[in-house]
Amino acid sequence: MKIVVLKFGGTSVGTIEKIKKVAKIIYDYKKKKYQVIVVTSAMSGVTNELIKKSREISDNFSEEEYDVLVSSGEQVACSLIAGRLIHQGLKSRSWLAWQIPILTNGLNKNSRIDYINKNKILKYIKEGGVPIITGFQGINNKERITTIGRGGSDASAIMIAKFFKAARCIIYTDVEGVYTTDPNKLKKAKKIKVISYEEMLEMASLGAKVMQPVSIQDARLNRIDIEVKSSFINKPGTLITKRANIINQKIITGISSTLNDAKVSLIGVKDRPGVAASIFKPLSKNLINVDMVVQNISANGKETDLTFTIKSDDLNKTKKIIISNKSISFRKLLFEKGVSKISIIGVGMITTPGVTFRMFQTLADKKINIQVISTSEIKISVLIDKKNTKKALIALHKEFKLDR
């Protein structure tokens, strides 16, 4: 049995007209003799509206009831897609996660899929049916509905592809695929034909909004190839796969940038064991994600300057936490909002010397000052003044020949 998993995002099912187009895509796969399993998100905007309602009801809304509430959006989309397929003459029905069931573990709002019972779905497919499954949700061992985090419908599709041993897993969205950089920021951005899990994971973590990092990680761990393509334009998309499947890879695959970072600097911190932990522990407890970190020790070895980046939205909270932290002492506390993180990503840099020099020289030639540097095996990130973001993107995109 040749199974294909088709996942449709919120923008793909955002209106009745778009749902009709989605049904046509599904119908075409059936005509090609595929056994189709469909996973859908809620219609665009619906989940946000449901979350808004929960906040209006209570500022401490029950997390169990939150999952019941926000999971209802996918139920609506499933029913509409199935209804359109029935209208077209196909056998189809909606399947809620608890009806299959899709079993999850972990906390409400952020569960993970543990197991999928295949029996009912396989029987339905063999009878010629097209199951339309709610993404983003499952059921726990207490028989309560759980959700698996924002963007969780991608994770649902990937895990369904794993358990059903699907030949293909295709994520339909409102873009044609993954680009070398955000095409809204740079018109010369090019669609990437093939990208490795590791590169896609870095790009997603650094701001690329095509897929959530947790979904890419699930695909990588389970070796599920994913194709990302547009619901609205019939063109090849981007294949996300393992490195061994990629031939003639460029040194740099993509460039990401963020515009919502802030820089925090603690000047003259008393240098002693555990001081960094005492700074970052309360931030972690308050769910503030710390990204780039740089530490400079003074010549006498008694003081250190510590700089790190956070999201701008967390700046006021971070300021209060640090000022009220009695376990650390420092001479000065500095904050800066107008910064941007630019990152180059590519597995090719592992075996290619001189990439760091080329990045830094390119920025220097454009008179762009680097404030903070962070590196990994396949990524180099720098923090620069926000006003230079576009100039840096254009220069680096050209330097690493991504516009060809």
Total count of domains within the chain: 2
Residue 238 lies in a domain: no
Of 111, 145, 174, the position where a domain reaches its end is 174
Question: pLDDT per residue over 178-199, tens digit each?
Answer: 999 988 888 888 999 999 999 9
* CATH code at position 356: 3.30.2130.10
Inform me whether the pLDDT recorded for 37 exceeds 80.
Answer: yes
Residue 91 lies in a domain: yes
Q: Which amino acid is at 334?
A: L
Separation between Cα atoms, residue 167 and residue 161, nearest integer Å: 8
* CATH code at position 94: 3.40.1160.10
What pTM did the predictor assign?
0.83
Residue 83 lies in a domain: yes
Least confident span in 235-239, 293-297, 341-345:
293-297
Report pLDDT for 203.
86
One domain, residues 259 and 348? yes
Of 174, 200, 220, the position where a domain reaches its end is 174
One domain, residues 159 and 261? no
Residue 25 lies in a domain: yes
Question: pLDDT per residue over 241-258, tens digit each?
Answer: 998 778 767 899 999 998
Average pLDDT over residues 267-285: 88
- pLDDT band of residue 299 (cuts 50, 70, 90) is low
Residue 115 lies in a domain: yes
DSSP string, 30-55: HHTT-EEEEEE-PPTTHHHHHHHHHH
The answer to whether 176 and 233 have CB atoms below 8 angstroms apart is: yes
Listed in sequence order, the residues at least 6 apart from 290 whose beta carbon sits closer than 8 Å to its beta carbon are 280, 283, 284, 308, 309, 310
Of 174, 193, 208, the position where a domain reaches its end is 174
Range of the domain at 342: 255-399
Question: pLDDT per residue over 20-35, tens digit each?
Answer: 999 999 999 999 999 9
